[in-house]
Structure 1
Amino acid sequence: MVTLIRSLPIQQLGKRWRLANKRFLFPVLLLVLLATPFSREITINVLADAFWQVAAYVAATLTIYHVISARMNQHGLLRTQLQHSRRFQVVFSAAMGALPGCGGAIIVMTQFVRSQLSFGSVVAVLTATMGDAAFLLLAAKPATGLLIVSVGFFVGLISGWLVDTIHGADFMRPAVTQETESSCCQQTSSQYNKTVRWQGMFWQWLLIPSVVFAVLGSLQVDTDVFFHLPEHTTAILGAGLALLAMTLWSFSRDVQGYQDVVSEDPKPETTTLFQRVAQDTNFVTTWVIGAFLCFELFMTLTQWDLQHIFAGWGILMPLLGVLVGLIPGCGPQILVTSLFLQGAIPLSAQLGNAISNDGDALFPAIALAPKAALVATFYSSLPAILAGYAYYWMFE
């Protein structure tokens, strides 16, 4: 081995050991925290909670979602209706945006570029979508998640109809060449690698056991006692599985830019059901772990009460939620939702963020139609501010 390394050219050796996969810093940092006595207990608890309370439910929700989505894609029943009714285009787009994840919003953006949908449809889908943060909120607080998703749908619907009425269906429609569209739609194939198969196998085998443990935990059942396990076994097991899921995610894609860190991994058509489930679940889990750890370590080190601190900001909170929502990618939005679940920020901020954020759909939107993406993002931020402050004044 040493001889082989010595025989390599300096350029090849440097390239081989180049830190291209910066994602691997996440599990490395976790191992450091686990090895440090001060942070070990906090890290184990955060990892266990993230796996049992979030990842298991997100994986189950995603499995149902992808099964339904695959069956719907087998039939072209909506195409005729979409071609003959501009108002129905907006309804369809708002519904696609209301679906958890970013797939529906990305579909609407590509159809807009192909002149199949109106600009109001783009505003509707970007307003209605909450991205991957919806999976986290629905898993942790189903009633609140359904409320916010429903509000997003109706706000997106009204916004899309208003925009089409004011500007017309062809407003901001770009002239995109076949080469541009093809390069955008096919860029995901080069990113796919064999580690995605391991991610799929991970959740294929662990989905049902994980959901069983998660449901028992939600019902306040001590799973260690229930299954006659040594004390703390469930927490240690959950921490280990969360660390493994994050490690598999870290090896699935090289980091070459901001988008590679904050967005879902691309999914070629060859990916299986559980590979798709695993890619999104592990992405959400990684960001949830990061958010929870930052929150817990910050609270432990400073002894500050973030809920009390943010309460002093009062009227600024909905605006801050909206501003964070303007940042492309699902990662920052998962951070906001995590803070909401921890009780650090109010529902008005979460609502404003949910309506203003465009999730991962903003990346193909910028690539395919940058001017339309910018204008649509601006339009989606206006109802977000209205909704966030309306809830703030009425209920907070």
Structure 2
Amino acid sequence: MIALQTSAVGLAQLFAITPTEAWEIFAFSVRDGFVQVSAFVAVTVLLFSYVQYRTGGRIVTFLEANERLQPIAGALLGLTPGCGGAIVAMPLYIRGTISFGTVVATLAATAGDSAFVILALAPEAGLYAYGLAFVAAVLFGYAIDIWGLGVGRVDSAVARLGRPMTDGGFATTSVASGGPSVVGYESGQCGHDRETPTGSGAMTTLSHALHILWWVVAAAGLLAGVLYLARGAPEVSMELAPTFFGLFTVAGLTGTALSFYLHFVGRRYIGEGDAGRVREDFASAYGTFKHAAMETSMVTVWVLAAYLLYEYGMAIFALDIGTLAAAAGAFAPIAGALLGLVPGCAPQIVFATLYAEQQIPFSALTANAISQDGDALFPLMAIDMKAAIVATVYTTIPALITGILLHYFWPFASFGFGVL
């Protein structure tokens, strides 16, 4: 044990990060991920699932029957502040309801959690940036569905990373032969839980109780998240007290712990709720809540992984996004687009804050807004990593084009446009 501790300390010192700092990064990531992301995702997924429950699945049926409207519908979902709307769209692709072009349109229009920062501190810039992102997303989504734009070649290159696990989405005429591959999906799986509960007795009762508690904590996390944004996204200390900081801390830590339980243990006793899938319908309101909880719990696991990867990467290699962005100069929109390749919202929130502080130009903000996929990519990564990689590569293309055009031709592309 002493040898292991010594090795850990030596490794930490080698990468310029102390064990205390490493622990703080872990604790803050566990807390912040749930309040800043998962609580908002839970509300959005629940709303969509409840509409499905009340309408008997007519929304999915409508999208299946109106292929030409899919990129617009996907972009509208992505345009919703936060990542919840876009997260809802990913299972539609996995199910085979929407086209791959619609996936790209959704991800390209995704505003992510950075939208809350921009809309609060630079609302005019946010309206222009996300408006341009919506237009670029819709046009590029239709272009992929109509002409393919080389999706097949990129798909073949990514295929070496592993086989996909799903049907690869709706078979549009131009992409069907070259889009992400079709492997082993049965549409009948969408009408019931993919993982039937196998337990009974005390563990089943406990899991149902913790599921209900999860929603109580999610409501507290949503309140803490709204207050956090209303206060201008301040630094929140780790605190256990009847204060805003205490609510933020307790909701974040408890919510993440419960999410991990539901995702890795609870689903064996109460069912998985078709996480990562879209249900045709729900038999009860409770089933609707369970599906939303399981979906959000899965996203929470991926969000925490992304937070830790980003935060440890920043600390270990002593990287500073602000310094890098300032040094980019004329390449700022390219840097913004490339940063969008990083899944999750943490780096994008930092980037949005830098814009509000007038450290990066409007062209870079818009390029990042188009390129970023936020947390919406995680459900797709969990089920079909290959399609996720292809999709995130393709959202970068309109981001680069739009960002560079804005840099040279947009009259308000300078620093500080629309900042309050």
TM-score tier (shorter)? 0.5 to 0.7
Distance 1:275 1:317, change over 3 A: same
Q: Which runs of 5+ in 2 are unaligned?
A: 1-17, 149-170, 199-203, 233-238, 265-274, 280-286, 416-420
Which residue does the alignment assign to 2:328? Answer: 313
Which residue does the alignment assign to 1:18? Answer: none
Q: What number of residue pairs does the alignment pair up?
A: 325
Q: Quick check: 1:98–1:153 contact (8 Å CA) kept in 2?
A: yes
Which residue does the alignment assign to 1:137? Answer: 114
Q: Distance in 2 between matches of 1:374 and 1:326?
A: 9
Q: How does 1:120-199 map to 2 (within 5 A)?
A: 120-129=101-110, 134=112, 136-143=113-120, 147=127, 149-166=130-147, 169-173=172-176, 176=182, 179-181=184-186, 189=195, 198=210
Distance 1:312 1:191, change over 3 A: farther
Please state if 1:335 is matched with 2:346: yes
Please state if 1:239 is matched with 2:249: yes
- Cα distance, 1:377 vs structure 2: 4.8
Please state if 1:98 is matched with 2:86: no
Q: Secondary structure at the match of 1:172?
A: coil
- Aligned counterpart in structure 1 of residue 227 of structure 2, from 215, 218, 230: 215
- Matched letter for residue 289 of structure 2: T
Q: Secondary structure at the match of 1:180?
A: coil
- Matched letter for residue 272 of structure 1: F
Percentage identity across aligned positions?
20
1:347-385 deviation per Cα after TM superposition (whole angstroms, max 9, x unaligned)? 655543442345135437846xx5x77765554322111
Please state if 1:272 is matched with 2:289: yes
Normalising by structure 1, report the TM-score: 0.58
Q: Distance in 2 between matches of 1:292 and 1:364?
A: 18
Q: Distance in 2 between matches of 1:231 and 1:376?
A: 43
Q: Quick check: 1:93–1:121 contact (8 Å CA) kept in 2?
A: yes
Distance 1:318 1:171, change over 3 A: same
- Matched letter for residue 333 of structure 1: G
1:35-85 deviation per Cα after TM superposition (whole angstroms, max 9, x unaligned)? x4x899x779x849965xx85465664454234312432435556754665
- Cα distance, 1:170 vs structure 2: 0.7
Distance 1:284 1:341, change over 3 A: farther
Q: How does 1:354-365 map to 2 (within 5 A)?
A: 354-358=369-373, 359-360=377-378, 362-363=380-381
Q: How does 1:257-296 map to 2 (within 5 A)?
A: 266=276, 270=287, 272=289, 275-276=293-294, 279=297, 282-283=300-301, 286=304, 290=308, 294=312
Which residue does the alignment assign to 1:8? Answer: none
CA-based RMSD: 5.2
Q: Distance in 2 between matches of 1:169 and 1:213?
A: 39
- Cα distance, 1:191 vs structure 2: 11
- Matched letter for residue 279 of structure 1: S
Q: Quick check: 2:263–2:298 contact (8 Å CA) kept in 1?
A: no
Q: Which runs of 5+ in 1 are unaligned?
A: 1-31, 221-228, 255-264
Q: How does 1:16-165 map to 2 (within 5 A)?
A: 36=20, 47=28, 51=32, 55-56=34-35, 58=37, 61-73=40-52, 74-75=54-55, 76-78=57-59, 82=63, 85-99=66-80, 100-101=83-84, 102-110=86-94, 113=96, 117-129=98-110, 134=112, 136-143=113-120, 147=127, 149-165=130-146
Q: Distance in 2 between matches of 1:325 and 1:90?
A: 20
Between structures 1 and 2, the one with greater helix share = 1
Q: Distance in 2 between matches of 1:342 and 1:122?
A: 27
Distance 1:334 1:233, change over 3 A: same
The 10-residue stretch of structure 1 (151-160 or 337-346) with the greater mean CA deviation from structure 2: 337-346
Q: Secondary structure at the match of 1:313?
A: helix
Q: Secondary structure at the match of 2:354?
A: coil
The 10-residue stretch of structure 1 (150-159 or 343-352) with the greater mean CA deviation from structure 2: 343-352
Normalising by structure 2, report the TM-score: 0.56
Distance 1:230 1:324, change over 3 A: closer
- Cα distance, 1:312 vs structure 2: 1.1
Q: Quick check: 1:122–1:376 contact (8 Å CA) kept in 2?
A: yes
Q: Distance in 1 between matches of 2:229 and 2:88?
A: 32
Which residue does the alignment assign to 1:395? Answer: 414
Q: Distance in 1 between matches of 2:347 and 2:72?
A: 28
Q: Distance in 1 between matches of 2:350 and 2:139?
A: 29
Q: Distance in 2 between matches of 1:107 and 1:171?
A: 22
Q: Quick check: 2:29–2:304 contact (8 Å CA) kept in 1?
A: no
